[in-house]
Chain A
Amino acid sequence: MKKKPKNLAAEKRKDVLKKLKKLGVRLYGQMEKSTFPWIKMPSRSTQNIFYSPEVRQYVLGDKMVRRSSRNIRHIRPLTQLIWAAYFARDLAEQRKTSTLRDVYYSAQAYEVPFKDQPESNSIITDLETVMGFSREDFKVFPEERSAIFGDLTIEYTVPGYEGKRLNLMSHPDGVMIGPALTSAEFVKTSADMVIAIEKGGLFTRFIEEMVHKKFNALLVLTAGQAPRATRHFIHRLNKELDLPVHIFTDGDPWGMHIAMVIISGSANAAHLRELTTPDATWNGVWATDIVDYDLPSDALTQVDIKRLHDLRRDQRYEGDLWRREIKKFLEIKKKAEQEAFSRYGLTYIVDEYLPAKLEMVE
């Protein structure tokens, strides 16, 4: 471990509160001067989203949008946005967390109801854009489903658990990556790497087969497309603990993309940083693995093939490995799940495949 980290969570909270107050003061001042309150923020339209090779993720361009209460079409979303800020301030002050669903319902108490969940979610994304913080920083979390297992000791910062420590090997099912874990400090670890796995079945197999011991690794279950809290957590493991990250997914375009979003992020989160792990690697299942290991496979569907063509045009997929694998998929027109290795026995994937693949990437 490089250094004992400072209390990052507490500082983040202070920053958030300061910025929220600043927003309020600005709006208040506008109204005192009898101008219709307005705000400016980077545009999130597709024309303003660019891939930046420097930061190795999508970023927003210079285009700004202005939301003014003078405009009949803006006033409602602007009110909702200011309410969301107000709501986030309460959460931060009371050190509580909530979910996107909570936000949707809470708005009704203030008579600024959202017409549906997507509208409410989009206002939260606006708030992220205006403030430059992710919603997790505002303590608004989506439903959690991902988990971590391995020798990492953390220290909680959530109220009631401050100073309390936990080793993430203490529960054989892994520990859920929820609000408490996301805001926890890393204390110490003996691990040398992080292995992220797409599917729960394999995650459990890896724990049973002591992959964390054998490879000295922290195991992260992404449970499909990794939630933002999990992507941020992986980012922290990589940045704060300096651990290399290896990703294992199904061998199809969708699995590939799960890995890519952990590595380079998504266009939807172009307004946010610290969600990506550009140095992470995708270790399998590759299209070439399907051939090399003679894996049981299914034929690619039309949708799969269309998706591969889309990915080929995607800037994030410019690396040699990606190009090669997309080409191979299109060539063999086959896909395989992680579980396909069970054909060679339940432990084959751990005993043979994993070491080979980790070595290959090294």
Chain B
Amino acid sequence: MVETFEQISPADFFYRNRDIAGFTNPTRAIFSSVRELVENALDASDLHGVPPEVYLRISQTDNGGEEGEVYMVRIEDNGSGIPARHIPSAFGQVLFGSKYKLRQARGTFGLGGTMAILYGQITTHKPVYVASSTGTSRTYEYKLIIDIQRNRPIILDRKAHVNKTRWHGTVVEFSLEGDYFRAMPKILEYLKQTAVVTPYANITFVDPKGRLYRFSRVTTDMPQPPEETFPHPYGVDVETIQRLTKITDCRNMLDFMQKHFQRVSERIAHEFLENARISEKKNPRKLKPQEVVRLVRKMKEFKDFLPPRARCLSPLGKDLLKAGILKELKPDFIAVCRRKPSAYSGHPFIVETAIAYGGDIPKVGDIVVHRFANRIPLLYDEASDVTVRVIKSINWRTYKVSPDMPIAILVHLCSTKVPYKTVGKEFIADRPEVRREILNGIREVARRLRRFLTRKEHVERERRRLSVFSKYLPKIAEFSTGLARKEQPPDIEKLLKSVRRFEEKT
């Protein structure tokens, strides 16, 4: 018997393993599709530096088969657009994208959007329609399908139009099988939470019943866009070094270390190479495999590298986070905190936290938790997330918080590499460095909440106190007048006033 070996393409791989990318069932599939496309749309606008205008429409086209119903999903953005020559690959090839450099973005692998299209294609056998322009004199329209086995786009139709208005952006429309009505609560929650962390975006959504949901921007200020950076020595692996040695134009290791890694000065490169016992003069292209392995190991061991730079990160900032929460939750009190940059395994990250009380926050008998990673709301697997574990570990009575209070906590983690546990990007792993930052961030806003609650309690107590006096003193006057057989009740105004004056003093 002859064993047959075949190579499978990435598209084929994800087709066979679609569970791990969040396309487990018709409900999750439509949710994940919406999520991936909205994220791509927002990333495109962020990159272009224009406040996003995102239009999403889901319409029912067919009553479908046994698995679920067929929906048409259309998404439009006003982002940077995609150069015409990249359009087929961007939408018709898995793992093609602009997100392989080190820079914070919502998506990371260039996988999600294409995965949604791939899922649509295998459930409905219909092509995807893409229109895009980078603001040049032309817009381009494509009809594509993916050749799954070879991971290549097949262009069915291609048109170019005159772009008089110099419109820039992208339109994607495709069909997929799904169960919108079961996914609806999650989709709406996703859009609402997205609006919280993207207060500078207009998001419009028309659902299959024709209902319009509109999340309007409250500001046009956008967060500082992230800078592209080189990897930090703590965060590289053997494969990365191998590739770097192939493309580098450095002639010796001293230059190589300084040029391709962040936070490596000549002095540090010198010290490191001496420590790693690799010659400074060695040509990086001539590193032997075992030398590459040693280099990586020594990089992780070397103590004197400075922590990674955070300029490649783009946290939301206190003002925007506040604006987003005020807009969507309308709380009575809000405190936000942005932690200083930190790093785990060579990957820089920043934690932002917020706590809100009252307003539209529901009383659900526990603290409402909103988790975000690189401005993506995380909605599934809450119990496994490090944020939820941290919140559970805090003794909330210290902060005068009881379960019946309407309290929401928001935690935003941004990083060039969010420590997700799964490809589905639903929850963050429990890394000690990340955990510590989240804990300290929550503690800081919780302390401010405690001050607010204490003051509120005090005001409430004083109000009750005053009402007790103004309720009972007149009664005492009334009954005493009766007992003493007097005609007129005594004047108690002075007494009541003295209570009031006392209130103001304290």
A interface list, Cβ under 8 A from B: 20-21, 23-25, 27-28, 31-32, 34, 36-37, 69, 72, 75-76, 78-79, 82-83, 85-86, 89, 110-112
Contact = CB atoms under 8 A, between A and B. Distances in A.
Given A69-B472, A78-B476, A82-B476, A34 B495 contact: yes
Per DSSP, chain A at the interface is: helix
Contacts of A82: 475-476, 479-480, 483
A28 B468 contact: no
A141 to B, nearest CB: 22
Given A31-B477, A31-B492, A69-B476, A86 B485 contact: no
Nearest to B464: A72
A75 B473 contact: yes
Contacts of A28: 480-481, 483-484, 486, 490
A12 to B, nearest CB: 18
Interface in B460-506: 465, 468-469, 472-473, 475-477, 479-486, 490-492, 494-495
Contacts of B486: 28
B468 A21 contact: no
A27 B494 contact: no
B305 to A, nearest CB: 63
Contacts of B491: 31-32, 34
Contact of B483 (A36, A72, A86, A112): A86
B502 to A, nearest CB: 10
Contacts of B472: 69, 75-76, 78-79, 112
Interface of B: 465, 468-469, 472-473, 475-477, 479-486, 490-492, 494-495
A37 to B, nearest CB: 6
Contacts of B490: 28, 31-32
B468 A72 contact: yes
A111 B471 CA distance: 10
B54 to A, nearest CB: 57
B458 to A, nearest CB: 14
In this complex, which of B465, B468, B482, B494 has the most chain A Cβ atoms within 10 angstroms of its Cβ?
Answer: B482
Contact of B484 (A25, A72, A78, A111): A25
Given A21-B485, A75-B472, A37 B465 contact: no
Contact of B479 (A25, A34, A72, A83): A83
A79 B484 CA distance: 15
Contacts of B475: 79, 82-83, 110-112
Given A31-B492, A31-B495, A75 B483 contact: no
Contacts of B485: 21, 24
Contacts of A111: 475
Contacts of A72: 465, 468-469
B460 to A, nearest CB: 14
B493 to A, nearest CB: 9
A111 B470 CA distance: 13
Contacts of A86: 479, 482-483
Nearest to B480: A27
B477 A85 contact: no
Contacts of B468: 72, 75-76
Contacts of A37: 476, 480
B214 to A, nearest CB: 51
Nearest to A73: B468
A20 B476 contact: no
A21 B473 contact: no
Given A31-B477, A72-B468, A85 B492 contact: no
Given A28-B486, A72-B465, A85 B479 contact: yes
Contacts of A112: 472, 475
Nearest to B502: A70
Nearest to A33: B490
B483 A27 contact: yes
Contacts of A34: 491, 494-495
In this complex, which of A78, A79, A85, A89 has the most chain B Cβ atoms within 10 angstroms of its Cβ?
Answer: A79
Contacts of A110: 475, 479
A24 B473 contact: no
Contacts of B476: 27, 31, 37, 69, 75, 78-79, 82
Given A24-B485, A31-B477, A69-B469, 14 more contacts: A20-B483, A21-B483, A24-B480, A31-B476, A31-B490, A31-B492, A34-B494, A37-B476, A69-B473, A79-B479, A82-B476, A82-B480, A83-B479, A85-B479
A78 B471 CA distance: 13
A20 B484 CA distance: 8
Contacts of A69: 469, 472-473, 476
A79 B494 CA distance: 18
In this complex, which of B475, B479, B481, B495 has the most chain A Cβ atoms within 10 angstroms of its Cβ?
Answer: B479
A110 B484 CA distance: 18
A112 B482 CA distance: 16
A39 B490 CA distance: 17
A89 B482 contact: yes
A205 B273 CA distance: 115
B495 to A, nearest CB: 6
A27 B484 contact: yes
Nearest to A27: B480
A36 B484 contact: no
A108 to B, nearest CB: 13
A110 B471 CA distance: 12
Contacts of B473: 69, 75
A25 B465 CA distance: 27
14 contacts: A23-B483, A27-B483, A28-B484, A31-B477, A31-B480, A31-B490, A31-B495, A34-B491, A37-B476, A69-B469, A72-B468, A76-B468, A79-B479, A85-B479
